[in-house]
Chain A
Amino acid sequence: MTLDKLPPFTICCTRITAVGTRPMDQILTLAGQNLLSPVILCFVLGLAAALARSDLTFPEAIAKGMSLYLLFSIGFKGGASVAEHGADLRLGLAVLVGVVLSLILPFVAYALLRGLSRGISATDAAAVAGHYGSISIVTFVAISSLLQARGISIEGYMVAVAAAMEAPAIVSALWLATRSGGGGKITPDLWHEILLNGSIVLLLGAFIIGWITGERGLAEIAPLIVTPFKGVLCLFLLDMGIVAGRGLRNARGIITPGVLAFGVLMPLVGATFGALAGLALGLSVGGLAVMMALTASASYIAVPAAMRVALPRANPALYLTLALAITFPFNLTLGIPLFMALASTLAGG
């Protein structure tokens, strides 16, 4: 077999190995290719436009519509993939591991943040920790799309893992806040916010529909959920770039060196946990990269809303800026290529 007949990602890895290039060069090559993809360039455009104070903006309804589309599409495709390949014990194990990671990571994040930024209150640290135990579904969508573009498949059930990792971190965060006297009771309203959050309902619902209807169902609606997917993702990331840029513009006084260091270091710490868990589960290269991206990411849809209900005294500007304006761009530009390179090294055989 010649190198040119291998799928794109394999070509990249094989050539690098063949010439004896160092892993750092591999990461930089992937980072360069990643940065020049339309998805990332759209995010950069939005970020630059917001920082330059352009009036470019998406109406709230369109942003929410695109988010619903992406959640439905990724959930359905994940379910269809499970239907095609069959569900086994690994699905249940992966979901269980995801839940455990989501419960544990807030404790790590809490300790790291309080260690790096001593002036931060226990309530603020607990709220931030909840975000880093949960996941960013957009980061999940972005890495899935980039892996797919390189011909690397992921386990379909990773969608269910992502959905399962959304909420447990909230419970850990509230326990941390309660222990430090910062409040954080789990009320029926909060349970409602956590379990019936629209993004989780749609993601899981679409996953189940995809699982039930399988490849036949996917083929029926492919013109809607497959073909336009990447274009919608580009527009959505353009919007995310605008929101992140706006957050950065207003971040003066919030982002101290310690907080900034946390926003960059915590994804790497989380990814290490994800890598260990993924290797223990025996995930494929794609699955491992996705698991690392999930544990490296921070929620900015489900958890912020839950924290506003449960921990109203925590500063929303701090956790939204950290999750959206620091960690998300870091993961999108540098984190994802790093996770993909490490996954191919660790699980590539």
Chain B
Amino acid sequence: MKMHAAKRVEIMVEAVMENQITRSLTAAGVTGFTILPVLGGSGRSGQWTREGSVSRASGMIAVVCLIAPQRLDHLLETLFPVLNDHIGVVSVTDTQILRAERF
């Protein structure tokens, strides 16, 4: 079966930024994405867990999207001003997809 090259962009960011991130994705033409809750982790501020937490301030989410390689730069340029000062990590991975016309 024919596979097509694509980029998998994973944005690990503070939960309070969910609306701003999804708006930026939409503005960059990315209409398909998945938002996942993050259970906990460890970073420069030490370990954390979402268990028992009432405030959204200390929670993180992961936003994952798959896009065509030529759209990557535009997406990252749109995302950067929103994410610049916030806690989080953005990673881009080479991947392959089946139905290229959807991305």
User: A: which residues have CB within 8 A of B?
Assistant: 57-60, 63-64, 67, 183, 189, 192-193, 239, 242-243, 246, 250, 300-302, 304-305, 307-309, 312-313, 315-317, 320
Q: Quick check: A64 and B54 within 8 Å, CB to CB?
A: yes
A236: nearest chain-B partner, CB-CB: B54
Question: Which residues of A have CB within 8 Å of B86?
Answer: 308, 312
A314: nearest chain-B partner, CB-CB: B85
Q: Quick check: B54 and A304 within 8 Å, CB to CB?
A: no
Identify 8 residue pairs between A and B in the complex whose beta-carbon atoms are under 8 Å apart, listed by A's number: A60-B50, A63-B51, A246-B52, A301-B55, A304-B58, A305-B16, A308-B57, A320-B57
How many angstroms from the CA of A333 to the CA of B86 in the assembled complex?
A: 35
Q: Quick check: B57 and A317 within 8 Å, CB to CB?
A: no
Is B100 engaged at the interface, CB distance under 8 Å to the other chain? no
Is B93 engaged at the interface, CB distance under 8 Å to the other chain? no
Question: Which residues of A have CB within 8 Å of B50?
Answer: 60
Question: Which residues of B have CB within 8 Å of A243?
Answer: 52-54
A324: nearest chain-B partner, CB-CB: B55
The A/B interface has a contact count, at CB < 8 Å, of: 70
Within B54-77, the residues touching A (CB, 8 Å) are 54-59
Question: Which residues of B have CB within 8 Å of A183?
Answer: 85
Q: Quick check: A316 and B45 within 8 Å, CB to CB?
A: yes
Question: Which residues of B have CB within 8 Å of A58?
Answer: 51-52
How many of chain B's residues touch chain A, expressed as a range?
Answer: 20 to 34
Is B17 engaged at the interface, CB distance under 8 Å to the other chain? yes
Q: Quick check: A317 and B52 within 8 Å, CB to CB?
A: no
Q: Quick check: A63 and B52 within 8 Å, CB to CB?
A: yes
B45: nearest chain-A partner, CB-CB: A317
A-side binding surface: helix, strand, loop or mixed? Answer: helix
Q: Quick check: A316 and B57 within 8 Å, CB to CB?
A: yes
Is B87 engaged at the interface, CB distance under 8 Å to the other chain? yes
Q: Quick check: A239 and B52 within 8 Å, CB to CB?
A: yes
User: B: which residues have CB within 8 A of A?
Assistant: 14, 16-17, 19-20, 45-59, 85-87
Q: Quick check: A300 and B52 within 8 Å, CB to CB?
A: no
- CB of B58 to closest CB in A, whole Å: 6
Q: Quick check: A308 and B14 within 8 Å, CB to CB?
A: yes
How many angstroms from the CA of A190 to the CA of B29 in the assembled complex?
A: 24
- CB of A58 to closest CB in B, whole Å: 5
How many angstroms from the CA of A139 to the CA of B85 in the assembled complex?
A: 32
How many angstroms from the CA of A5 to the CA of B67 in the assembled complex?
A: 75
Q: Quick check: B52 and A242 within 8 Å, CB to CB?
A: yes
Check A63/B14 contact, CB under 8 A, given A189-B20, A250-B46: no
Q: Quick check: B58 and A309 within 8 Å, CB to CB?
A: no
B39: nearest chain-A partner, CB-CB: A60
How many angstroms from the CA of A313 to the CA of B84 in the assembled complex?
A: 10
How many angstroms from the CA of A313 to the CA of B86 in the assembled complex?
A: 7
Question: Which residues of B have CB within 8 Å of A302?
Answer: 55
Check A305/B51 contact, CB under 8 A, given A250-B46, A312-B87, A317-B46: no
A301: nearest chain-B partner, CB-CB: B55
Q: Quick check: A60 and B51 within 8 Å, CB to CB?
A: yes
Q: Quick check: B46 and A308 within 8 Å, CB to CB?
A: no
- CB of A299 to closest CB in B, whole Å: 9
Q: Quick check: B85 and A300 within 8 Å, CB to CB?
A: no
Contacting A193 at CB < 8 Å: which of B16, B51, B52, B85?
B16
